[in-house]
Amino acid sequence: MHGFDRPNLMLSVSPKEKWKSQLLAFLENKRGDAGIVYCLSRKYTEEVAEFLRLEGFNAIAYHAGQDSQLRRTNQNRFMSENAVIMVATIAFGMGIDKPDIRYVCHLNLPASMEAYYQEIGRAGRDGLQAETLLLYGLADLRLRRQFIEQDGEDQAHALREHKRLDALLAYCDAPACRRTALLAYFDEEAGPCGNCDNCLNPPKMIDGTPEARMLLATIRDTGQMFGGAHIIDVLRGAATEKILTRRHDKLGTYGEGAAHPKPYWQAVIRQAVAGTYLSINIEKYGALQITARGRAVSGGEEKFALREIDLSKPAKAAKKAKAPKREQQPVAEGDQGLLAELKTLRLEFARTRNVPAYVVFHDATLLEMARERPATLEQMAAINGVGPAKLENFGNAFLSAIAARSRGPRTGQTA
C-alpha cells in the first residue's frame, strides 16, 4: 500500500432504498467469504444479523451493549470460522487483523471520511481484491447531525464535525472516480481507478460549466470565506442580514441562480467538492475555497461535468429520528470502586474548568468506561460520549485511572 491508496478495494456507494434487497444483492456471490456489515445502532445490528441468519448466512452481532464474554466469543468466532459475517457497530474493529476479510458494507453513514476510510480498510489486508458498499439515506444524515449537536462539545467543534460530514456526503455524490475523490480528501492525487462503481458504470453526465462558473464566481467574489449556505443564498438572491450587511447583494452573481432550487445548488457544491474543483477548509469553519482545477473552469480552460440532478421526485420528509438511547446497564459490584474514582476525576476537571460535571462526561459514559475498562486511546474512542476533543483533553487521564485500578483484582473477586 502506498500512502492512503488501497487499489485492491472496489468502492461502491448507493442511496439506501430497500436495504434488505440491496444487502442480499451485494452478498449474492460472497457466501463463501468473511466480511463486516457496519450499522449505526445496537438494535439495528441485532435486526440485521437475525435477518441474515434467516437467509442462511453465518451472521454474528457485535456491539458495546453485549456482555464482554459474549463479545470475546463472537470475535473469536469471526477470527477462526470461515465465511462469517460480523454485523457490528464501530465498537468492533480495533485490533482486528484478519487478512482475508473480503468485503465491508455500511448500512448507515459513517461519522466522517476518516472513519469510513478506517472501516473499509479492514477489508483486503492480504492485498487481494475486496469490495465495499456504502448505503446512505436521509434518516442516517439526520441522526449524524443529531449526534454532533448532542456531543456536548463547543460550537466550533460541532461546526468542524458537520463539515467533515459534508465532505463524506460529497464523496457519496461524486460524479467521477471514487478513489480520486477519496484520496483528494487526504491530499493525495490519483487518476481514475477503473475499480469503483462510477468507473465501471458511469452515471449520466451533462455539461454543468455555466452553473459551475456562476458558483465559482460567487465564492471568489465573497472572498472564499463562507460555507455553502451563504453562497447559495447569494446565488438565489436571498435578502438575509448577512448578505445585506456585507453588501453581497451588489455582486454580479447575486440572484443569477434563482432558477434553481436550493437542493440543486447543494448537489452542485457536493459534486464540485468531490471533483476537487472546491475544497472545504475545516479550520475556517467550512469555507468553500477554489482549487487549481476550479480556477481552470473559471478561466475557460476546463469544462465542468455534472452528474444529472433530478429533483422531479423529491424525497418524502423523513420523520424526525431519535438518537438511540444508551443502554443503562448497571456496573458489576467489582466495578463500583472504579466508577467512583472516575466520577472524582471528572469532578476535578469540571472544577478546574468551571463547568458542570456532565460537560466533561455524562454518567452513562463513565458507566461504560467502568464496564469496558479501555486500555488505549483507540479503545477509549469507542466509548459512547467520547468525541475527538474529549479524547484529546481527558483521554489519557481517564486511561491512567482505569489502568491503575485494573492492575489489582477487582473488589469482591479473587485474583
Pairing of the two strands 287-290 and 278-281: antiparallel
- Find the domain containing 173 and state its range: 151-189+198-309
- Residue ending a domain, choose from 275, 309, 343: 309
Exposure of 148 in the CB half-sphere (CA atoms within 13 A): 21
Looking at the structure, tell me whether residues 86 and 171 fall in a common domain.
no
Is pLDDT above 90 for 107?
A: yes
Res 16: pLDDT:
84
- Indicate the length of the chain as a whole number: 415
Looking at the structure, tell me whether residues 262 and 158 fall in a common domain.
yes
pTM over 0.95: no
Domain tally for the chain? 3
Cell of 282: 475545516
Looking at the structure, tell me whether residues 252 and 302 fall in a common domain.
yes
- Residue 223 burial (10 A CB sphere; 0-12, 13-18, 19+): exposed
Give 143-161 as a DSSP string: HHHHHHHTS---HHHHHHH
Q: What CATH number does the domain containing 29 carry?
A: 3.40.50.300
Looking at the structure, tell me whether residues 168 and 298 fall in a common domain.
yes
In the chain, the percentage of residues whose pLDDT exceeds 90 is 48
Q: What CATH number does the domain containing 396 carry?
A: 1.10.150.80
Least confident of 134-138, 184-188, 301-305, 365-369: 134-138
Looking at the structure, tell me whether residues 156 and 298 fall in a common domain.
yes
Least confident of 72-76, 142-146, 269-273: 142-146
Tell me the β-bridge partners of 130.
9
Measured CA to CA, the distance from residue 256 to residue 259 in angstroms comes to 8
Measured CA to CA, the distance from residue 213 to residue 297 in angstroms comes to 7
pLDDT tens profile 19-77: 999 999 999 999 999 999 999 889 999 999 999 999 999 999 999 899 889 999 999 99
Res 15: pLDDT:
79
Looking at the structure, tell me whether residues 181 and 288 fall in a common domain.
yes
**Which residues neighbour 180 within 8 Å (Cβ) at sequence distance 6 or greater?**
174, 189, 190, 191, 192, 193, 276
Look at residue 384 and tell me if it is in a domain. yes
Look at residue 324 and tell me if it is in a domain. no
Q: What CATH number does the domain containing 232 carry?
A: 1.10.10.10
Phi (first) and psi of residue 375, to 5 degrees: -110, -10
Measured CA to CA, the distance from residue 338 to residue 334 in angstroms comes to 8
Look at residue 323 and tell me if it is in a domain. no
